[in-house]
Chains A and B, each alone.
Chain A
């Protein structure tokens, strides 16, 4: 699915990622944990193709092809979905229009017929139940006037609509209360299949109680310093990040 080899990334001349290696196979869930400033969000954004992040070395192979040469929209249409840490507001653009355009761009890319307004609304209603999002919200402008929790649910709702092959959840748990956290996790789990993979970027262990990872990687100072099974998250929770910092 995804193979990251020796990836170095700089932002505004400052090196953030210093040689990342990561292998993600279909059906796997990988958690990336680490203290603030370790490069977790940078990794998520660079995979999605954000321009400010400059790749200085290394390569990323996605589904057998070079990923880094592709535009953000092509990456999206080929199945990479980023759930944003801070979903962006777009005033005056109704959620429905935004989502319909998004879904139809994906469909066009796959050579499928575009959905009509009626077909799209039907699809939207189906997917909405999954994350318990209030139907009224889709009449509002994109993310405008949404609470923190609603924004995050909205991200997972979009994920449900787009059915990505590789979902990257960037701090999707931050700012969520326990009920919203469960809803979001339920959504993610419901969308999981043996063909799809998930990368969960998180600071805390608690989301991993609900989205159970196959692997936990600890990112520190731009490098993956430790990889193990789900028990690593619990160990980290117990000992804190200082334990990692001391060893590195």
Chain B
């Protein structure tokens, strides 16, 4: 035991490798939130008129709302007036080539392991990079344009395709859906937009990288993905932030609309700064992600690997509106030290013969709390629907917590809902077996954890899976006690 505690000590002091700050000039507005600030954001971004209405509507509704308190989270009070709602790297607008981008910024992205240049072309991934809420570079735009695919920053979409944005924004996540979604709708400054036309299979993975850099700012980005009839797209999202002692707020919204027979795969590796080992600092991650399977036989799958953030409040959900539509949620959520995560999904079955699958793997270490919260709701009209849920929790010591709150509501008799759950503690005999074969405890834990999470990791696109595996290992090495 003592030996393991020692390893735990050593490793928990290992550094968050993305915790650097980039020294670039930032255009940042005064702290505080009121209608004037919202107008300023709207003006700075030169958005169409309907966006001002959208933002103000959201803001007015938000003012009447309260922070949700039903999650299994201890959230310190957040002063929403102490946050700056707009920060952007100066030197915008528009880079025609990578050479025009601030070299500091390029350096940042290289440190993050997201080279924007040739490597990415070779790897065949199109990237939109959002730093401090503003999209700084979208690669591969032209190649995609040949297929009619629109993949650009949200700001560009509002300039170049306002009618498309107007048609779909707020369709999956209405402005007043919840406290954080309303806040995001009021103040979001950028994000990614993606439209896949009818019958087009997107030939490459699309990817957004989010980065918070400036201090005392919140990051509020918004992603909207629309997959038209018979189209397909796989979308990746990654995120990191500098190490800071104060907490920073991240309240994003992701909306997905899948039309007839369209399929959207959305994968996230969330690695926001989790705070230090004593729970100081870290990102508050309050995210609303929702997809609507609006068309018949459409499919939306969420895959997430959550290792970062001090607090995570996040429930990527599917509304299965179209008959025969399919929703999937695959999640690995890791908490260590003083991290808290309350995450899960909602599967709302409305159409006939709709199917959903939930696989959730929670891993808790340190003094953290890790909660799965899920709702499976089958409406009376959703006849012959099916859901299968599997929720596993793995505890690495005696000081962490794992909690499961599954809610199931079935409104008809022809549907079948199944729920399986397990809780286990990592086996000392497993670790010793590895040790006896020459594998040290840290490597052994990494191996065992990756084995445990394999079902979910396998759902990730190849290059992401490798990154996720490493991340799991880094987050947990030696945390058995």
Q: Which residues of A are interface residues toward B (Cβ below 8 A)?
A: 48-51, 71-73, 76-77, 81-82, 84, 87-93, 97-98, 101-102, 105-106, 109, 141-142, 158, 162
Which 3 pairs, one residue from A and one from B, show the smallest C-beta to C-beta distance? A92-B451, A93-B451, A72-B435
Contact status A158-B437, CB under 8 Å: yes
A162 to B438, CA, bound (A): 10
Quick check: A82 and B436 within 8 Å, CB to CB?
yes
24 A-B contact pairs sorted by A residue (CB < 8 Å) = A49-B436, A51-B3, A51-B4, A71-B435, A72-B435, A73-B435, A73-B438, A73-B439, A73-B441, A76-B435, A88-B430, A88-B432, A90-B430, A90-B448, A92-B450, A92-B455, A93-B448, A93-B451, A101-B439, A101-B443, A102-B438, A102-B439, A105-B439, A162-B437
A82 to B436, CA, bound (A): 7
Q: Does B103 count as interface, using CB distance less than 8 angstroms?
A: no
Within 8 A of A (CB), among B431-477: 432-441, 443, 447-448, 450-455
Contact B451 A48 (CB under 8 A): no
Residues of B within 8 A of A (CB): 1, 3-4, 427-430, 432-441, 443, 447-448, 450-455
Contact B440 A141 (CB under 8 A): no
**Option from B3, B428, B435, B447 in Cβ contact (under 8 Å) with A90:** B447
In the assembled complex, which residues on chain A have CB atoms less than 8 Å from the CB atom of B430?
Answer: 88-90
With known contacts A50-B432, A72-B432, A88-B429, A98–B452 Cβ distance under 8 A? no
Taking CB atoms, residues of chain B closer than 8 Å to A158 are 437
Question: A141 vs B433: C-alpha distance in the bound complex, in angstroms?
Answer: 14
Contact A51/B1 with A90-B448, A91-B451, A101-B447 known, Cβ cut-off 8 Å: yes
A48-B436 contact in complex given A88-B430, A92-B454, A93-B451, C-beta closer than 8 Å: yes
Which residues of chain B are near A93, meaning CB under 8 Å?
447-448, 450-451
B438 and A87 within 8 A (CB): no
**B1 in contact with A76 (CB, 8 Å):** no
Which of A50, A93, A109 has the most C-beta atoms of chain B within 10 angstroms of its own C-beta? A93
* Residue of B with least CB distance to A50: B432
* Interface secondary structure of B, over-half rule: helix
Bound complex: CA of A158 vs CA of B453, how far in Å?
25
Q: A71-B440, A76-B435, A109-B438 are in contact. List 6 more A-B contacts (CB 8 A).
A: A48-B436, A71-B435, A73-B439, A88-B432, A93-B447, A102-B438
Q: Is the CB of B451 within 8 A of A141?
A: yes
| Cα separation A37 to B436 with both chains bound (whole Å) | 23
- Complex Cα distance, B7 from A73, in Å, reads 14
Q: How far apart are the CA atoms of A142 and B447 in the complex, in Å?
A: 11
List of B residues within 8 angstroms of A77 by Cβ:
438
CB–CB A98/B438 < 8 A: no
A81's closest neighbor in chain B, by CB? B436
Identify the closest chain A residue to B3 (Cβ).
A51
The interface residues of chain B lying within 8 Å CB-to-CB of A141 are 451
- Chain A residues, Cβ within 8 Å of B433: 84, 87-88, 90, 142
Most buried by A among B434, B436, B453: B436
Contact A105 B438 (CB under 8 A): yes
Closest B residue to A78 by CB, please name it. B438
User: Which residue of chain B has the shortest Cβ distance to A141 in the bound complex?
Assistant: B451
Chain A: CB-nearest residue to B453: A92
A77 nearest CB neighbor, chain B only: B438
CB distance from B479 to the nearest CB of A (A): 17
Q: How far is the CB of A88 from chain B (nearest CB, A)?
A: 4
Q: Are B436 and A72 in contact (CB under 8 A)?
A: yes
Closest B residue by C-beta to A82: B436
| Partner among A49, A101, A162 whose Cβ is within 8 Å of the Cβ of B435 | A49
B39 → chain A closest CB, angstroms: 53
B440 touches A73 (CB 8 A): yes
Contact between A91 and B452, CB atoms less than 8 A apart: yes
Q: How far is the CB of A94 from chain B (nearest CB, A)?
A: 8
Which B residues touch A88, using CB under 8 A? Answer: 427, 429-430, 432-433
Contacts of A50 in B (CB 8 A): 432
Residue of A nearest to B455 (CB): A92
Chain B residues, Cβ within 8 Å of A162: 437-438
CB of B75 to closest CB in A, whole Å: 34
Q: With the chains together, A88 CA to B432 CA distance in Å?
A: 9
How long is the Cα–Cα vector from A31 to B428 in the complex, in angstroms?
Answer: 28
Bound Cα distance A101, B432 (Å):
15
Complex-state Cα separation, A201 to B348, whole angstroms: 59
Residues in chain B near residue A51, CB distance under 8 A: 1, 3-4, 428, 432
Choose from B441, B447, B455 the contact partner of A97 (Cβ within 8 Å).
B447
